[in-house]
Amino acid sequence: MRGLKNKRVIVTGGASGIGAATSRRFAEEGAEVFIFDINMDSAEQVTHDIKANGGMANALDVDITDASAISEAVSDIGSGGIDVLVNNVGWDRLVPFVESDTELWTRVIDINLYGPLHMHHAVLPVMIGQGRGRVVNIASDAGRVGSTGEAVYSACKGGIIAFTKTMARELARAGVQLNAVCPGPTDTPLFESFAEGASGERIKAALEKAIPMGRLARPDDFPGIICFLSSDDAGFITGQTISVSGGLTMHG
């Protein structure tokens, strides 16, 4: 893709799943990747693999629920410019809303809503100052159409979609473009934590039957669209929400 070589890219949650696959793809495109994660063993392994293949990568121990830690990390790397931000970190636990509690709500909101807000607040001034930048927010189809057992998570992801559109309007003339990618059910460690036991296997089988393409998404199904939206090939695209769900959800 055009325009990714030597670009500086932050990927939150780049140690596993969609984030790791995305980090590797950016490196293949010639970008320098900065992985923000709290799982440093995995983050350093991804970084090692990228470097072993001739790419550029850095692993930083950053908790996205900690605004001061984010500010410090962004300050350390921001002097060299930040071209792309991929807000990928996400977490949830499958619980009917009426059986959930405020402790769970707080954790879900801190990770899925406040975390990306902290990242935007630290990175967007850098992008505005340099007159260019791309943000790809990994939202969820749960934020578009809802998801049983994920009420607060869905609310957060719906909020991220709305926030992305609003900031895209605010910053279009500053040269900063923001778009949202909405995964459908994806075979990641997070999904595996949902799918433990017989009930989980039933959920997985039901989803595979419902998805027109006949399978769950895989982490490697996402880096292409994420890198495209970050590239010069997407130079006139902003404020869009793109579902990657194998046809489970469709809109337009």
Cα–Cα distance, 134 to 230 (Å, whole number): 6
Find the catalytic residue in 153, 191, 194, 222: 153
Beta bridge partners of 175: none
Give the list of residues 6+ apart from residue 134 with CB closer than 8 angstroms, or none. 83, 84, 85, 176, 177, 178, 229, 230, 234
Active site residue 114: no
One-letter amino acid identity for 247? Answer: G
Q: 252: how many CB neighbours lie within 10 A of its CB? A: 3
> Exposed, middle or buried: residue 65 (CB in 10 Å: 0-12, 13-18, 19+)?
middle
On whether the CB atoms of residues 216 and 158 are closer than 8 A, the answer is no
Q: How many CB atoms lie within 10 A of CB 66?
A: 15
Place of tokens 């990390």: 73
Give the separation between CA 223 and CA 239, rounded to whole angstroms: 19
* Catalytic positions, written as ranges: 153
